[in-house]
């Protein structure tokens, strides 16, 4: 794969998908400085070996236990340490990884996997069917505190080890997204010996079969991985089969946008995640750097609207908010205008996206006032509307990150213009999430990655209230459609359900979608071999090296 | 009042006892001689006045969103430019002064009231009461005040009121120390002993006789304390723990501006300058005040 093409983020689809969203619309961006040097060379791994890479992340992992990690940076790190059973290419086609082949029973309740042999975990424990069973069973164990894993494993019930290299997994009900989810490191295979040895500390000492192993995690500063020289390559998607080129991968944690950018500029970092939108132009035009722009798959940046808390429990208020907010302004403030405006709970690059949502609400303040007026919200003291003597005052607990606060301040002004009072309470991210879980926030910042529309279950199914359904959204029809959607295996049957679900969620105004985030990463021009994963979210480091 | 000052302000070589008016005139004269202190005083006064008259002097509403004026550089329409919401930075800096000064003065009032009271008690009752209070103060002093304030804010929640309380509590130990030390040196003086002999109650002695005589060092500490409180308040707001959007506050304006540092440096420069100018001039004024009040510097 040439350098140039590897940098182009494309809209993605799954193999069995009918709906193909054009890649070009989102992938135009890839022009970086190194594009001219894209002559494929015969790769002699030994020539390229060596080098230490420093990549700067924007958030600290909350855990390095794949089953318990919920923040993206943990996944980014673990992708190199832990391996999954399968792998998806950028087109969404499945490739073998730790499993060589697989079979599903007719009723969709039993999956049988043949596993690779001759592979060992970093601690020397051999990889076998017992390890796979152990890794999957522990996700169900409440002590593991799995959230993402639990949602991705769906209706998984148990595993049966048929022999050391064959495993059969049983599901309570068919669960359509399972196979695609299997590529995610969240469902990766971990060393049972290490889990038993470290117990609750496994999250600080992950042990897998991956190309890199953990050297150290200094909280608040960095995570360093070193090459696993005994690594046996299991991936079809890499361009060379010997162990990876880079000696070490260091993930530094720099939450401050400007500081992270300066780390790239000063040469301290070779790669940074999330170049701030406002600075993309200047990095792009600098010949020392290249940028990668990807609209990764998942949900847009949005604020979940709490439909169980006054005053957003009134659908009229939630709908008026949709009309009152000028999303063009919001995306300009938050991303420098790079990311397009969002209208629904899914990004257009996710299979099953329903473009009909785009027709539902457009920026129209008079319409917002009319909706409120008709629902009985009359102009009151200080320009704040009131109904039955109660003022239309809402609160949003939010992480004290300046970009998020900025866009929320703009939203605050826009809501004020139609008579809604929004109080912004800034705090640390975990604190804001805790308040949201308890239902104490009217609006909750959210973005989610995922390639299957089943991710809507995480934010909009009532069973996840108290978890990631931070809008406390409860709608029987939505619950039913989401349940049915994950139980059906035939995409033709699934599609109309997800199309309908998106319309219902927006009709109930359970979320305020803002923009389809295009993540911009930046790197030194000398870095080559970067390939993005199936989500178009993070680079795979296996083929990455420095041009000499 | 002013006639009193001029009437009794004749320089009469060091006479130990002076009428109060004489002391005041001497103080004013000394302060006037100290140019840096005077300049500081004038700037503080200017910041004060602009904060009080903010609605009159600021050209725009501090929270008036104007998305068309996104990141406008400083110019005729907007002297200090605009921010990412199109708000006028000058108006926000002027209004920000209200918050910052309020934080400074209220926090110091809290600290002074509680700190001095504790210091008086600790100084007068040297036994275990004094030891207990002072050891507590030592514990509080062991933490940097910003850290202490952070801890208190995390308990009280974010917002301007909790912030003022937090900064105030965090500055109590300094006042207690100074007050206690002053009481210790004052209480053995003859006039205090005399008051005791006459039968004054401890409260009377403390409030009527000791307090007025330890007032000078406390005023000096209070002045520099205001500056320190403004800085701590801005720091907490910078971290998102103080003023909540859209309230214009210098620290949170700085925090907001750092995202746009390259494209719109004016968003950081002006609130930063405002903090610097205010804090520096308060400190200069405080220095001038100390010199003017210090009996050793005659």
Give the model confidence (pLDDT) of A23-67 as tens digits: 333 333 333 333 334 455 555 656 678 899 999 999 899 899 999
Residue A505: what pLDDT?
Answer: 97
- Report CB contact under 8 Å: B245, A426: yes
Summarize pLDDT for A263-302 with one digit per residue, the tens: 999 999 999 999 988 899 999 999 999 999 999 899 999 9
- Report CB contact under 8 Å: A413, B246: yes
- Report CB contact under 8 Å: A405, B256: yes
Q: Does A409 touch chain B if contact means CB atoms closer than 8 Å?
A: yes
More confident residue, A21 or A97: A97
Phi–psi pair at A302, nearest 5 degrees: -150, 165
The interface predicted TM-score of the complex, written ipTM, equals 0.77
Torsion of CA A115, A119, A120, A122, to 10 degrees: -110
Residue A43: what pLDDT?
Answer: 52
User: Which among B244, B255, B263 is the nearest to A424, CB-wise?
Assistant: B244
pLDDT confidence band for A4 (50 / 70 / 90): very low
User: Which among B85, B244, B255 is the nearest to A402, CB-wise?
Assistant: B255
> Of the ranges A105-109, A454-458, B284-288, which is most confident?
A454-458
CA distance A416 to A422: 7
Residue B18: what pLDDT?
Answer: 47
CA distance A405 to B85: 11
Give me chain A's average pLDDT, please.
88
pLDDT above 50 for A435: yes
- Report CB contact under 8 Å: B85, A257: no
Residue B24: what pLDDT?
Answer: 75
CB A191 within 8 A of CB A202: no
In a mutagenesis test of the B interface, which of A278, A332, A334, A399 is the best target, namely the one with the most B β-carbons within 10 Å?
A278
Residue A429: what pLDDT?
Answer: 87
Residue A502: what pLDDT?
Answer: 97
- pLDDT beneath 70, residues of chain B: 1-21, 295-298
Q: What is the pTM of this model?
A: 0.80
Q: Where are the beta strands (DSSP E) in A282-420?
A: 289-294, 298-305, 386-387, 390-391, 393-399
**A410 vs B contacts (CB less than 8 Å):** 65, 67, 84-85
CA distance A169 to A159: 4
CA distance A491 to B98: 61
Torsion of CA A299, A304, A308, A311, to 10 degrees: -150
CB B62 within 8 A of CB B72: no
CA distance A319 to A512: 9
Rounded to an integer, the average pLDDT of A475-500 is 92
Residues of chain B in Cβ contact (below 8 Å) with chain A? 63, 65, 67, 70, 84-85, 158, 239-241, 244-246, 255-256, 258-263
pLDDT above 50 for A142: yes
Q: What is the β-pairing status of strands A248-253 and A52-57?
A: parallel
Q: Does A253 touch chain B if contact means CB atoms closer than 8 Å?
A: no
The 8 Å CB, 24+ separation contacts for A368-371 are A368/A320, A368/A321, A368/A322, A368/A323, A368/A324, A368/A418, A369/A320, A369/A418, A369/A419, A371/A316, A371/A319, A371/A320, A371/A323
Residue A239: what pLDDT?
Answer: 84
Chain B nearest CA to A334, separation (Å): 10
CA distances from A29 to A33, A274, A330, A339, A472 (A): 12, 15, 21, 11, 37
Residue A8: what pLDDT?
Answer: 32
Give the distance, in angstroms, between the CA of residue A131 and the centroid of all CA atoms in the same chain.
26
CA distance A267 to A251: 15
């Amino acid at each position: 794969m040439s350098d140039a093409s590897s940098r182009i983020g494309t809209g993605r689809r799954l193999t069995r998908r009918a709906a193909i969203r054009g890649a070009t619309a989102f992938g135009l961006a890839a022009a970086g400085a190194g594009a001219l040097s894209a002559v494929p060379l015969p790769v002699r791994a030994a020539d390229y070996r060596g080098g230490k890479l420093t990549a700067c992340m924007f958030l600290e992992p909350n855990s390095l236990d794949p089953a318990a990690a919920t923040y993206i940076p943990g996944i980014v790190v673990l992708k190199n340490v832990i391996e999954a059973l399968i792998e998806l290419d950028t087109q969404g086609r499945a490739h073998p990884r730790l499993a060589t082949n697989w079979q599903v029973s007719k009723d969709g309740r039993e999956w049988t996997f043949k596993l690779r042999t001759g592979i060992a975990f970093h601690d020397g424990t051999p990889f076998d069917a017992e390890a796979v069973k152990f890794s999957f069973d522990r996700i169900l164990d409440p002590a593991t505190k799995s959230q993402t894993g639990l949602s991705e494993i769906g209706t998984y019930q148990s595993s049966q080890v048929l022999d050391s290299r064959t495993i059969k997994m049983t599901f309570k009900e068919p669960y359509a997204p399972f196979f695609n989810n299997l590529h995610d490191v969240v469902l990766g295979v971990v060393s049972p010996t290490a889990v038993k040895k470290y117990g609750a500390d496994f999250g600080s000492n992950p042990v897998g079969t991956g190309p890199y192993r953990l050297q150290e995690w200094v909280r608040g500063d960095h995570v360093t991985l070193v090459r696993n020289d005994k690594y046996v390559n299991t991936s079809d998607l890499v361009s060379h089969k010997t162990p990876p080129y880079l000696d070490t991968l260091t993930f530094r944690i720099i939450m401050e946008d400007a500081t992270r950018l300066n780390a790239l500029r000063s040469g301290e970092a070779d790669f940074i995640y999330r170049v701030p939108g406002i600075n993309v132009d200047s990095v792009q035009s600098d010949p020392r750097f290249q940028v990668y722009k990807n609209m990764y798959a998942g949900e847009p940046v949005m604020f979940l609207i709490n439909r169980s808390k006054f005053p957003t429990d009134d659908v009229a208020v939630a709908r008026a908010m949709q009309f009152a907010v000028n999303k063009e302004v919001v995306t300009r403030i938050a991303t420098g205008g790079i990311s397009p405006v969002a209208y629904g709970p899914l990004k257009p690059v996710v299979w099953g996206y329903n473009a009909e949502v785009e027709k539902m609400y457009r920026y129209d303040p008079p319409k917002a006032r009319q909706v409120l007026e008709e629902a009985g919200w009359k102009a009151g003291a200080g320009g704040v509307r009131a109904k039955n003597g109660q003022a239309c005052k809402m609160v949003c607990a939010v992480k004290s990150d300046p970009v998020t606060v900025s866009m929320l301040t703009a939203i605050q002004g826009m809501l004020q213009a139609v008579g809604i009072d929004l109080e912004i309470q800034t705090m640390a991210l975990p604190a804001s999430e805790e308040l949201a879980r308890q239902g104490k926030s009217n609006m909750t910042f959210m973005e989610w990655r995922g390639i299957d529309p089943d991710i809507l279950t995480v934010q909009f199914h009532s069973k996840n209230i108290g978890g990631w359904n931070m809008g406390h959204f409860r709608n029987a029809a939505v619950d039913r459609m989401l349940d049915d959607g994950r139980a059906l295996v035939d995409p033709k049957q699934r599609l109309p359900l997800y199309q309908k679900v998106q319309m219902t969620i927006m009709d109930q105004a359970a979320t305020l979608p803002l923009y389809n985030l295009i993540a911009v990463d930046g790197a030194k021009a000398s870095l080559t071999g970067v390939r993005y994963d199936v989500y178009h979210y993070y680079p795979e480091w296996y083929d990455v090296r420095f041009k000499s | 009042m002013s006639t009193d000052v001029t009437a009794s302000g004749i320089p009469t070589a060091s006479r130990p006892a002076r009428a109060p008016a004489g002391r005041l005139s001497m103080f004013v004269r000394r302060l006037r001689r100290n140019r840096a202190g005077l300049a500081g005083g004038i700037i503080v006064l200017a910041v004060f006045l602009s904060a009080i008259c903010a609605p009159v002097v600021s050209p725009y509403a501090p929270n008036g969103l104007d998305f068309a004026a996104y990141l406008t550089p400083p110019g005729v329409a907007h002297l200090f430019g605009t921010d990412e919401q199109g708000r006028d930075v000058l108006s926000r800096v002027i209004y920000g002064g209200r918050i910052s000064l309020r934080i400074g003065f209220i926090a110091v009032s809290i600290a002074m009231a509680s700190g001095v009271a504790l210091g008086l008690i600790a100084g007068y009752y040297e036994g275990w009461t004094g030891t207990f209070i002072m050891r507590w103060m030592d514990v509080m002093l062991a933490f940097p005040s910003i850290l202490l304030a952070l801890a208190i804010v995390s308990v009280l929640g974010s917002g301007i009121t909790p912030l003022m309380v937090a900064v105030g509590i965090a500055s109590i130990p300094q006042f207690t120390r100074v007050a206690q030390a002053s009481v210790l040196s004052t209480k053995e003086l003859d006039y205090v002993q005399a008051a005791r002999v006459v039968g004054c109650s401890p409260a009377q002695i403390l409030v009527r006789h000791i307090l007025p005589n330890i007032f000078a060092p406390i005023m000096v500490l209070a002045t520099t304390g205001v500056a320190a409180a403004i800085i701590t308040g801005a720091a907490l707001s910078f971290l998102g723990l103080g003023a909540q959007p859209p309230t214009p506050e210098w620290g949170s304006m700085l925090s907001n501006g750092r995202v746009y540092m390259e494209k719109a440096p004016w968003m950081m420069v002006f609130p930063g300058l405002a903090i610097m100018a205010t804090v520096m001039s308060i400190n200069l004024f405080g220095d001038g005040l100390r010199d003017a009040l210090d009996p050793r510097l005659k």
